[in-house]
Amino acid sequence: MKQKEILARLPYEKPFLFVDEIQEVTEDGAKGSFTFHDGLDFYKGHFKGNPVTPGVILTECCAQIGLVCLGIFLVGAAELEASNVLIGMSSSEMEFLQPVFPRETVTVISHKVYFRFQKLKCEVKMYNSNKDLVCKGTLSGMLKVSKYG
């Protein structure tokens, strides 16, 4: 499956789409990037007068690129043609090492731990444009293909 097809099948849109580009996706992992525009709504409140990207949003960005893009690739084009994919994050364990400010571009790299019985578990790492590690952790989600959905 091509990267564009994966992007087209992502079940998100603005203001909650945190994937701009997928650079690489294989059976073992995915790599993609996103730029946090300064107009994003949460910067108004996190924090007052001092905009910093919230950790939950960094986690979401890691999940959308590392888990969901990879999951769509793994489930495969054939399965997706006639069906919907139901997605839910089931667990996240993240460590945050660097702040991400408005207008920064981040790159997420994920490695599959396993994809079995509709559960995808990945180790994810996010880097900023200086190649500093921003956050890392382990994310899991359920990907169900619903034939009637």
Partner 1 sequence: MQEVKKYQKLKNIIQVYLPEDVSVDEIRPSSNFVSELNINSANLVDIILDVEDAFDIRLENEDMNQMQTVADALHIINSKLNG
The set of catalytic residues is 46
Q: CB-wise, 28 or 38, nearer to partner 1?
A: 28
Q: Sheet harboring 29-35: ordered strands across?
A: 21-26, 29-35, 105-116, 119-127, 133-146, 84-96
Smallest gap from Cβ 88 to partner 1, in A, equals: 8
Smallest gap from Cβ 90 to partner 1, in A, equals: 3
Q: Does an H or E element contain 6, and which? A: helix 3-9
> Contact residues for partner 1 (CB under 8 A)?
90-91, 114, 116-119, 140-142
Q: CB-wise, 23 or 90, nearer to partner 1?
A: 90
What 8-state DSSP symbol labels residue 20?
S
Smallest gap from Cβ 37 to partner 1, in A, equals: 33
Assign 131 to helix, strand or coil: coil
